[in-house]
Amino acid sequence: MSRPQHLKAARLRLVSAALGLGVAVALAGCSAGQVTQTDTQVAAVNGGSGSVKEIAVRNAQLSFPTSGQFYATGSSAPLQVVLANEGEDDRLVEVSSPYAQSATVEGETTLPSGTALHAYGEAAATPTQQAQPTGQQQQPTAESSAAPQSSENQLGQREVQITLNGLTQDITPGVTIPVTFKFEKAGEVTVQVPIAEDTKPRGPEDPGSAQGH
């Protein structure tokens, strides 16, 4: 090989090596500065589910606390859940948990065949309603007699409000507690219930906010 050809081949090898090094550095830089989807994605909290005969309890969760990050001992926790009935007409008669001193059920409790009851937790609570312990029937008044018997929201969904009262210990996110739903005909079913995901917007100063890289 002549000297000019040798020099040309050497220059080509140097150019190829430099290009390869540049690509490697660029890839390393992208990898170091890139935030992957799994770095920022918050895993959804799956609620407790179960069934007894033809009644299904779906996605049962405690509403995320309106203040603070957990439920303290002695506090009350509203429940979010869907109760779906594919069997004969039935009725929710009681809700209980060994981690609560009592539970209250308000609103609609009947479960006709092919229908569902929706509990929306804190958002569904209204200050004009008076809690009634489960297992006790509220005596009708003149006002309640004139009111419609079915409790429905604007979407036509039948609503029930369920609250666990007097929690016997602190309940924190990630912990599940057993909650039992008792129906008049189908019987009872116990599901493990977690605290729902915090959906409140967070500011940069919030302790739970994501930190910059």
| Residue 208: inside a domain | no
Number of domains in the chain: 1
| Residue 73: inside a domain | yes
| Residue 165: inside a domain | yes
Q: Tell me, what DSSP letter sits at residue 122? A: G
| Residue 172: inside a domain | yes
Q: Round to whole Å and give the CA distance between 66 and 43.
A: 20
111 bridge partner residues: 90
| Residue 177: inside a domain | yes
**115: containing domain:** 48-123+155-194
| Residue 42: inside a domain | no
The pLDDT tens digits along the chain (213 residues) read: 555 555 555 555 554 555 454 544 444 444 444 433 333 333 456 899 999 999 999 999 999 999 899 999 999 999 999 999 999 999 999 999 999 999 999 999 999 999 999 999 974 333 333 334 444 434 443 333 333 344 555 456 899 999 999 999 999 999 999 999 999 999 999 999 999 998 766 555 555 444 444
| Residue 117: inside a domain | yes
We report the CATH number of the domain holding residue 79 as 2.60.40.1890
Q: Which two tokens stand for residue 28?
A: 């390393």
| Residue 211: inside a domain | no
